[in-house]
Structure 1
């Protein structure tokens, strides 16, 4: 069941609500530059296992409205809060991939984890996707600037290049094309603005404010959010568990989907 949730007077967010009567609820936030459809292979299986799976399209992406502004972590976290409030969600597992993981972390800190009983982070872009003074673990900021410039100059080629970094395992050309099409659904200005956010913003203080059990799933071959980021998150988030994915890059939810689904559901049932 798909519908829209108004998060600002002139901005609506698309929500896909699968198995609304499910026994437990998982709210998924997708990564850059995709949409909720990236979790197709979780929606397929987990709903059959009795879970309610809610996927939202971040503003600017997928079927959501595409305003010219509102792409900071604070605003994206506020959008999630609007969905939680309007749907009256309680005792949920909040899951986020890549920038979606960073948004989930900001949500936990900014909104005191409202409605969330467990947090799951998948290749999350935290505490900083880029290298900083006293933080040598991320990508060079220049690499993200190249993505931004590519977005404005030749977005399809930028998406192709990024897609080559998304997965570690070989996939079929049709699947690669599918990920590419998900990226094309976004607005160019939203794609660039979000890249600016994960280049320039950080979440070091946010990690200290997370007070629910947290599962960190991360591919050891991740070329986007490097694996040392996961190790830092595990050290800084209380009551957290890190599960490395030995045969995955950034797209671990697809590359090792059976292991991914197993680890996530076991965590929810603990």
Structure 2
């Protein structure tokens, strides 16, 4: 490649990854991403169920002095658009959007971070586009095809009479049992997530206010919540069968007291991925960067800078 061509490509990349908001049409969907910080690129993916990347932008702001952060709103969430076919809202479809974005940006590899359901999206990408991932971070990750329902049920039963969790447990059981009134709007879904939020923390009495500040800012999309769940069920993906396809060095992080993506999920990820490291946060639930921020930041930065 000539020097002129290299300079042109570099200028284009600076434009495409310049600080601020960007939208590009990929796979028939307007995909929104926000860029901030300086340093090596790190792509942070929102979960696919409607919450958007805003909470990641607030929770992982500490990385911006070391990395150029690219926060992606998955299709149907945040500021990204919806597909014409709502059955194209699966986690695998969202992973395909990442591949389209990589090609659009002209990058050979991506350094990926996923939390909760976006861990499943990042994992899907790493399993199916294994040569295009340089590092993978899975934080309290979901894994499609791996059932943790018994652990979640045990967690809820153990906290049913704890005043810190009692109302949240009742709301969760009502929803999962189908006995609660179906959610009918973004506002109702957002209120439901707010009601459940204590369950995501080991110490809600200390950390609930900060969790609310990070997670409960934007409205959550009921469309994405319903469509992704239906599309993933229809796809019937089993990510456990492809764990050995992940080639990238992988950091698996999990809170000991996570109710929705409990420890056995992380242990299965660690056992199945050849080049994986497992870090447990003994005093955390689903969001260890809130409950053990110093340890979390140290472990994450060490891995990314190795």
Same fold (TM > 0.5): yes
Unaligned runs of 5+ in 1: none
> Per the alignment, do residues 8 and 92 of structure 1 end up closer, same or farther by CA in structure 2, a change over 3 Å counting?
closer
- Equivalent pairs counted in the alignment come to 259
TM-aligned CA deviation for residue 36 of structure 1: 1.4
Aligned residue in 2 for 1:164 = 198
> Equivalents in 2 of 1:174, 1:266: separation in Å?
25
> Equivalents in 2 of 1:147, 1:91: separation in Å?
46
- Out of 260, 269, 294, which is 1:224 matched to? 260
TM-aligned CA deviation for residue 172 of structure 1: 4.6
> Per the alignment, do residues 93 and 208 of structure 1 end up closer, same or farther by CA in structure 2, a change over 3 Å counting?
same
What is the TM-score normalised by the length of structure 2? Answer: 0.75
What is the TM-score normalised by the length of structure 1? Answer: 0.84
> Equivalents in 1 of 2:100, 2:74: separation in Å?
12
> Equivalents in 2 of 1:147, 1:92: separation in Å?
43
Query: Larger Rg: 1 or 2?
Result: 2
> Equivalents in 1 of 2:121, 2:151: separation in Å?
19
- The two structures, once aligned, show a CA RMSD in angstroms of 2.8
Aligned residue in 2 for 1:66 = 82
TM-aligned CA deviation for residue 45 of structure 1: 1.7
> Equivalents in 2 of 1:210, 1:266: separation in Å?
21
> Per the alignment, do residues 175 and 23 of structure 1 end up closer, same or farther by CA in structure 2, a change over 3 Å counting?
closer
> Per the alignment, do residues 197 and 144 of structure 1 end up closer, same or farther by CA in structure 2, a change over 3 Å counting?
farther
Query: 1:46-95: per-residue Cα shift (whole Å, max 9, x none)?
Result: 1113x111110111111111345121122111111112111223443211
Unaligned runs of 5+ in 2: 1-19, 155-172
Aligned residue in 2 for 1:80 = 98
Q: Does 1:18 align with 2:36?
A: yes
